[in-house]
Amino acid sequence: MSTQTSRSVLFTHTQPQQSFRLLELPPDLEELLTSKDAPVIKLKSPSSALAQAVKDPAAQEYVNLCTPTKTYRIRQVMSSNSIHILQPSLGQISRDDIKVVEEEAGETGALNLPDDSVTTIANCGSILELHIPDGGFSAVPFLEKSLRLYDPRSGDDDGDMAMDDSNPDEGPSATQTQEAREKVCEDVPVSTAHCETGWLELCAFVYGDQEVSCWRPSARMRLSVWKRLMEGALLQGIDLQKQFLVGDLWKSVLDDDVSAPPFPRALLEALARRLCAEDQRPALSEDIKWACFDKEECTRWVGEICLAATAPTASSAVGRSEFLQVWKDCLPESWRADAILSKLPEGSYQSPNPTTMFFVDASQRKQISKAPAAGAAAAKTKAKTTRNWHELLKNSKR
């Protein structure tokens, strides 16, 4: 047996050990943090009330690490290996701090150690890692519970207060709008980019004279605004597929009584921003002066909103032909041919029978899509386990 001729390193440990948590960083985050203009990184979690309102089983106790554009779930991974954090012993260590060195201390009560000795100051039994789930992250479920519902005709649909439309043409300043939006997003445990995407998806807006509040229009209200917008554009000769002034579109929806608009201008601007072509869409922090609607995206969105407004649940399922006719009637004449079911997002509707359909909320689509797949896998496994041995042999010979 060969003997080692290399010099050994004295290994000691302190008592008590220090508390450390090791966090494993993905390469892209490491590169971001070591860049010259490294952004602020936030640790975010929802409030207890918001987590319970969202009804997400995973949303009770967790923390997300958020960059301006990405969100990572922090999870703990146990390790069977001993992970030590070391530091040089620096020549001397107190007798009370070590348990493995049997060397008489000098008059000072310190032990003289070699310069190349090391000391473990912490022993970590787990590592924190950053994880992005398959479906990614969405701010929509949290924003739906954080924003007040705007539907003046319904009064109290979802337990939220309807808005007082005393002066719907007046609104808060740009600074007030940004501050109100940022305040709402403080408790939403996703990145700023995810919050802005969710805000855009819901056509959320900020409104208020004395009391500034953040609102989300109901599906029925969004459909009503769209109809008014389309009719006004037709009367004023505004081509929605070409660049137009949002101010002109706002004027087209006003009645003879300009002092009493049908809804806040901020709501129309939120809808216009949502339907605007992506390459021409301004940031939320910027005013939207010009717009140009994306025909394909607009047609899909109108169909989805129509179904959400007319058949929001299975009990209110509507006939397919009836829905298609309503959808076509909500589109400009040249767009009507595009109103076909294949244009709707995958999983956005279900059919109790071959002739009817109802809307499926985006938060429920993943759960529904996973259920058939899990059922098919279980059935396949059961089929394999219940076959007789001679059937398995027969299949293997084929």
Mean pLDDT of 357-378: 66
Return the H-helix or E-strand segment holding 206. Answer: strand 205-207
pLDDT of residue 49 exceeding 90, the answer is no
pLDDT band, residue 51 (cuts 50/70/90):
confident
Say whether pLDDT at 35 is over 70: yes
Residue 46 pLDDT grade (very low, low, confident, very high; cuts 50, 70, 90): confident
- What pLDDT is recorded for position 183? 94
pLDDT digits (tens, 9 = 90+) for 86-131: 888 665 555 555 444 444 445 555 555 555 678 888 888 889 999 9
Q: What confidence tens digit (pLDDT) does each residue in 159-198 have?
A: 344 444 445 555 788 899 999 999 999 989 999 999 999 9
Confidence of residue 135 (pLDDT cuts 50, 70, 90): confident
Whether residue 373 has pLDDT greater than 60? no
Region 74-88 average pLDDT: 85
Of the listed ranges 11-15, 71-75, 242-246, 381-385, the one predicted with least confidence:
381-385
Question: What percentage of the chain carries pLDDT values higher than 70?
Answer: 75
Report the percent of the chain where pLDDT is more than 90: 55
The answer to whether residues 233 and 241 touch, using CB atoms and an 8 Å cutoff, is no
pLDDT at 299: 97
Work out the pLDDT band at 382, boundaries 50, 70, 90. very low
Q: Does 376 have pLDDT greater than 70? A: no
For residues 168-195, one letter each, b for 16 or more C-beta atoms within 10 angstroms of the residue's C-beta and e for the rest, the string is beebbeeeebeebbeebbebbbbbbbbb
Give the C-alpha separation, 59 to 145, whole Å: 14
pLDDT digits (tens, 9 = 90+) for 290-313: 999 999 999 999 999 999 999 999
**So what's the pLDDT on residue 157?**
41
pLDDT of residue 103: 47
Confidence bin at 374 (pLDDT 50/70/90) = very low
- pLDDT value for 397: 47
Higher local confidence (pLDDT), 102 or 274: 274
HEC letters along 242-292: CCEEHHHHHHHHCCCCCCCCCCCHHHHHHHHHHHECHHHCCCCCCCCCEEC
Domain boundaries, the chain: 11-131, 140-291, 296-360, 363-397
pLDDT of residue 311: 96
Rounded average pLDDT over 23-30: 92
Element housing 302 (H / E)? helix 295-310
Residue 392's pLDDT is 46
Q: What is the mean pLDDT of residues 344-356?
A: 94
